[in-house]
Chains A and B, each alone.
Chain A
Amino acid sequence: MLSLMMVLVLPSCEDQIETTYTYQTQVPVFLEVNSFREADIVIEPGKPLDQPGKIYIYGDYLFISEPGKGIHLLNNADPASPQNLNFINIPGTGDMAINESILYADNYIDLLAFDISNPENIQLVKREKDVFPNLYSNEETGTIMTYKDTIITSTEANMRWNTWGRPTFRTDIMTFESFALSGAKSAGGQSYGQGGSMARFTLLGGHLYTVDDNSMRIFNVENPIDPEYLSDINLGWGIETIFPFKDKLFIGSMTGMHIYDASNPAKPREMAVYAHITSCDPVVVNDDYAFVTLRNAAICRDGANELHVLDIKDLYTPTLIKAYPMDNPHGLGLSGDYLYLAEGEQGLKSFNVSDVMEISNNQIEHLKNFVSVDIIPGPKSLIVIGPDGVCQFDYSDPEKLKKLSCINVSNE
């Protein structure tokens, strides 16, 4: 009996702790540009979604980007049963845009144009080289630096999170944040710096605008298969989202919302900046009002969780008319008088915004049990994007959403 007890405890009368630290981060890797320029673009049968980025609706088809890896193509003729058709492998891609029947996507430093007039037989028609040169680590030798997801496990005491002298990982800069740098139209994925140019793309007036961390690049795509790079404009820091409306560009950043006049699309002119406390802010706009969500997350620093309504009848002086407290608002979608708000882990809310002074009193539905980050009101369905997948709702009755289907992210 006594010997049993000895064996149990006596080896050490002090409590013992064995710790294992696991980091998921990105390590820099160097690539030669020729390695992907000379390789064929591989189109393979549909793969499960992993970290969905932006979604583009093109006729009956859905294009869903997988930042860093490529683009999923789905047949959405029946939103209750979307068919996962193909996966277009585009390493180092951050975003995409579709102009008539041409799909633009970035491939590290290059801009690619694909003909998608027959979506089941996509062809690469143009590669515009060296358009996003900030990835180059050495332009002369054609070496770019990108990042690769890596898992690092250690039991060393100096690998603890808050230990001085621990090696710093790339994710430390992006961490403390459930959704680093995510914005309205490009959320769902966790790591935007995963290769790719971190660009957000949008099209307006025959021009393609790509926005990365701090500048906007402008391309003339009046001839869709031959994008022509024009210029770039420095916008400051922490640029997140870009939303085109009529001939204006609304650009959301961590410090505010910039409004640009793109009536001359080759030379957008800044009209105004609506500055706010540092937060992450997607924006949607109609004729009179801009709806901006502010979200508190550590990387957005001391932000509030709010919905701001701005009067933009005079675009040179956007004015805050009301701010509504919200749970944890991410992206939003506007359809007529109805605003759909993605509240992160708190689900999805719908509001009637015909009276902008009474939005919180006109909340219609609050669907919980679904983590939502962004919303796109499409022609056939309301598409809600979250880290668990992409769901579609019938919103023919905008006050009563009916779930049609969900494409779940694979759990491997």
Chain B
Amino acid sequence: MKSVLVFFVTAIIWSCPLVSMGQDSPFVNHSEIGVLTGSDNFGPRTNFTFQTFNGLQLNRRHAVGFVTGLDQYGDYSVIPLALGWRGVLNPQNKWQVYGGGEIGYGSAIFEHVEINEWDQHNWRKGGMMGQGTIGFRYKDKRANFWTVSFSLKRQISYFYNGNPSRLSPDLNRPEDWSYYEEDKVTFNNIVYRIGYSF
């Protein structure tokens, strides 16, 4: 958990609006905070998300870049690492409509193996991630934007549970386990975010 927190705080500070410059440079940052909603077999699900897009403005309308952040599904932390795109419909207005898309990988790099008193091992791995966004943005005095968006996001993860048949089992070798369960979990989310872009 601690390493997740350090990463998260660094990302927040980096994308803080006070650090922003004007609209002249081609560099674009778009950072958002929001809520992932979905439902699983226990009922409706509400989780926290933070996302930051860092890239280059290609022309008046489009920017591409690299996206990262944090999705917190209960006690499961996913760090998305993706390529992203932002495109504006009406860049000439004050109130603008934009679209966004990301495709990449959600990493469970901060997760570790849990072992219970029966020597059962539990661990998690990340998987592919894809997202599509529609949003509104409002141009402020400094020509930066406040944004509100709505997205659909799909995140795949793999949860493992195993009973080893030897000491020091290798997590990737099935022959070290007498029982090996792989759950391929697909999180389907409707996401609401507010953010800032400069």
Find out whether the CB atom of A18 lies under 8 angstroms from the CB atom of B38: no
Kindly state whether residue A14 has any CB partner on chain B within 8 Å.
yes
Kindly state whether residue A20 has any CB partner on chain B within 8 Å.
yes
Which of A8, A161, A174 has the most B CB atoms < 10 Å from its CB?
A8
* Cβ-Cβ contact count across A and B, 8 Å cutoff: 129
Please tell me which one of the listed residues A2, A21, A373, A386 contacts residue B179 in the complex, with CB atoms under 8 A apart.
A21
Find out whether the CB atom of A8 lies under 8 angstroms from the CB atom of B163: no
Q: Which residues 148-183 of A sit at the B interface, judged by CB distance below 8 A?
A: 151, 160-161, 171, 174-179
Find out whether the CB atom of B161 lies under 8 angstroms from the CB atom of A17: no
Given contacts A8-B131, A176-B118, contact A15 B166 (CB under 8 A): no
Find out whether the CB atom of B184 lies under 8 angstroms from the CB atom of A190: no
The total of chain B residues at the interface (CB under 8 A) is 45
Q: Which residues 21-53 of A sit at the B interface, judged by CB distance below 8 A?
A: 21-25
The total of chain A residues at the interface (CB under 8 A) is 44
Residues of B contacting A20 in the complex (Cβ-Cβ under 8 angstroms)? 181-182, 184
Given contacts A5-B152, A178-B165, contact A22 B184 (CB under 8 A): no
Kindly state whether residue A196 has any CB partner on chain B within 8 Å.
no
Please tell me which one of the listed residues A2, A17, A175 contacts residue B185 in the complex, with CB atoms under 8 A apart.
A17
Kindly state whether residue B90 has any CB partner on chain A within 8 Å.
no
Kindly state whether residue A19 has any CB partner on chain B within 8 Å.
yes
Find out whether the CB atom of B165 lies under 8 angstroms from the CB atom of A171: yes
Given contacts A21-B179, A22-B174, contact A4 B167 (CB under 8 A): no
Find out whether the CB atom of A4 lies under 8 angstroms from the CB atom of B132: yes
Find out whether the CB atom of B119 lies under 8 angstroms from the CB atom of A345: no
Find out whether the CB atom of B183 lies under 8 angstroms from the CB atom of A161: no
State the CA gap A16–B40 with chains docked (Å).
8
Kindly state whether residue B91 has any CB partner on chain A within 8 Å.
no
Find out whether the CB atom of A9 lies under 8 angstroms from the CB atom of B165: no
Residues of B contacting A5 in the complex (Cβ-Cβ under 8 angstroms)? 132-134, 151-152
State the CA gap A179–B164 with chains docked (Å).
9
- Tell me whether chain B's interface is mostly helix, strand or loop, or mixed: strand
Find out whether the CB atom of B165 lies under 8 angstroms from the CB atom of A161: no
State the CA gap A161–B118 with chains docked (Å).
13
State the CA gap A373–B152 with chains docked (Å).
52
Find out whether the CB atom of A190 lies under 8 angstroms from the CB atom of B166: yes
Separation in Å of the A171 CB from the closest CB of chain B?
4
Given contacts A175-B163, A178-B167, A388-B168, contact A13 B181 (CB under 8 A): no
Please tell me which one of the listed residues B38, B161, B174, B188 contacts residue A24 in the complex, with CB atoms under 8 A apart.
B174
Find out whether the CB atom of B178 lies under 8 angstroms from the CB atom of A298: no
State the CA gap A19–B161 with chains docked (Å).
11
Residues of B contacting A411 in the complex (Cβ-Cβ under 8 angstroms)? 173
Find out whether the CB atom of B168 lies under 8 angstroms from the CB atom of A14: no
Q: Which residues 5-57 of B sit at the A interface, judged by CB distance below 8 A?
A: 38-41, 45
Kindly state whether residue A407 has any CB partner on chain B within 8 Å.
no
Find out whether the CB atom of A23 lies under 8 angstroms from the CB atom of B179: yes
Residues of A contacting B188 in the complex (Cβ-Cβ under 8 angstroms)? 9, 12-16
State the CA gap A178–B120 with chains docked (Å).
10
Kindly state whether residue A371 has any CB partner on chain B within 8 Å.
yes
In the complex, the chain A residue whose C-beta lies closest to that of B169 is A178
Please tell me which one of the listed residues A8, A18, A175, A178 contacts residue B130 in the complex, with CB atoms under 8 A apart.
A8
Find out whether the CB atom of B183 lies under 8 angstroms from the CB atom of A17: yes
Residues of A contacting B186 in the complex (Cβ-Cβ under 8 angstroms)? 15-17
Residues of B contacting A10 in the complex (Cβ-Cβ under 8 angstroms)? 152
Please tell me which one of the listed residues A4, A8, A19 contacts residue B184 in the complex, with CB atoms under 8 A apart.
A19
Find out whether the CB atom of A25 lies under 8 angstroms from the CB atom of B178: yes
State the CA gap A176–B154 with chains docked (Å).
36
Separation in Å of the B106 CB from the closest CB of chain A?
14
Separation in Å of the B129 CB from the closest CB of chain A?
10
Residues of B contacting A21 in the complex (Cβ-Cβ under 8 angstroms)? 179-181
Please tell me which one of the listed residues A13, A17, A387 contacts residue B168 in the complex, with CB atoms under 8 A apart.
A387
State the CA gap A15–B173 with chains docked (Å).
28
State the CA gap A10–B189 with chains docked (Å).
10
Kindly state whether residue B193 has any CB partner on chain A within 8 Å.
no
Which of A5, A174, A177, A190 has the most B CB atoms < 10 Å from its CB?
A5
State the CA gap A151–B179 with chains docked (Å).
10
Please tell me which one of the listed residues B133, B178, B179, B185 contacts residue A15 in the complex, with CB atoms under 8 A apart.
B185
Residues of A contacting B175 in the complex (Cβ-Cβ under 8 angstroms)? 24
State the CA gap A176–B174 with chains docked (Å).
16
A-B contact pairs, 22 of them (CB 8 A): A2-B132, A4-B132, A13-B38, A14-B41, A15-B39, A15-B188, A16-B186, A19-B182, A21-B179, A22-B179, A22-B180, A23-B179, A24-B174, A161-B163, A174-B178, A175-B165, A177-B119, A178-B166, A179-B167, A190-B165, A298-B117, A387-B166
User: Residues of B with Cβ closer than 8 Å to A?
Assistant: 38-41, 45, 99, 101, 117-120, 130-134, 151-154, 161, 163-169, 173-175, 177-190
